[in-house]
Amino acid sequence: MSPEDGRAQGSGGEFPDANRLAAASPEEFEERFVTALSGDSGGLTHLHRVLAEAAVWCLTHGVEGGAHRLDHLAGRLFVLGEDLHRAGLDISHEVRAERYAAAPRASPAAAARGISAGPPSEPTTAQPPVAPSRPLPHSR
């Protein structure tokens, strides 16, 4: 993070998706969180590229131990990415559950009478009864 403005930065510049995360609405959070981490310009994606490039550099310069260590860290980063993705899903689920719990509900008595809580729905027009398709038998 840049101390001057609180924006996430890396060696390749800013991560704009991370900057938009704090301003996300509950509906946008999951998508922005995943994009900030693993989108094309996401933090994990960038870090994975750095590790891969550093591993190639190590191999090119005969530092095989360093290359293996970086490959191992890239694998751990992949697992961390999966954990972070699940965390984002869990957060979104929790937000939806809290919104559902906070939504107005009709009391059991009102629900039994067909009265709902919340804004009134569009008025329904009464439909005339449907005529039987064949005549009913007459009594004699």
124 located within any domain: no
Q: In this predicted structure, what is the pLDDT of residue 11? A: 45
Span 33-43, average pLDDT: 84
- One-letter amino acid at 66 equals G
31 located within any domain: yes
What is the domain extent for residue 59?
A: 9-105
Dist. CA 35–CA 85, nearest whole Å = 10
Domain count, the chain: 1
Q: In this predicted structure, what is the pLDDT of residue 7? A: 42
133 located within any domain: no
89 located within any domain: yes
68 located within any domain: yes
Span 6-24, average pLDDT: 60
Instruction: Give residue-wise pLDDT tens across range 89-136.
Output: 898 889 888 877 776 766 666 666 665 555 555 555 545 444 445 444
Q: Helical H runs in the chain?
A: 16-21, 26-38, 43-60, 64-102, 108-112
Select from 43, 51, 46 the least CA-distant residue to 68: 51
Say whether pLDDT at 10 is over 50. Answer: no
Q: Any idea which residue has 């694998």 for tokens?
A: 75
39 located within any domain: yes
Instruction: Give residue-wise pLDDT tens across range 79-96.
Output: 999 999 899 889 888 988
63 located within any domain: yes
Q: Any idea which residue has 């009709």 for tokens?
A: 106
Q: In this predicted structure, what is the pLDDT of residue 6? A: 40
Say whether pLDDT at 34 is over 90. Answer: no
- The size of the chain, in residues, is 140
User: Is 70 within 8 Å of 58 (Cβ atoms)?
Assistant: yes
Count of Cβ atoms closer than 10 Å to residue 100 Cβ: 9
Instruction: Give residue-wise pLDDT tens across range 42-84.
Output: 889 999 999 999 999 999 999 999 999 999 999 999 999 999 9
Dist. CA 26–CA 94, nearest whole Å = 10
114 located within any domain: no
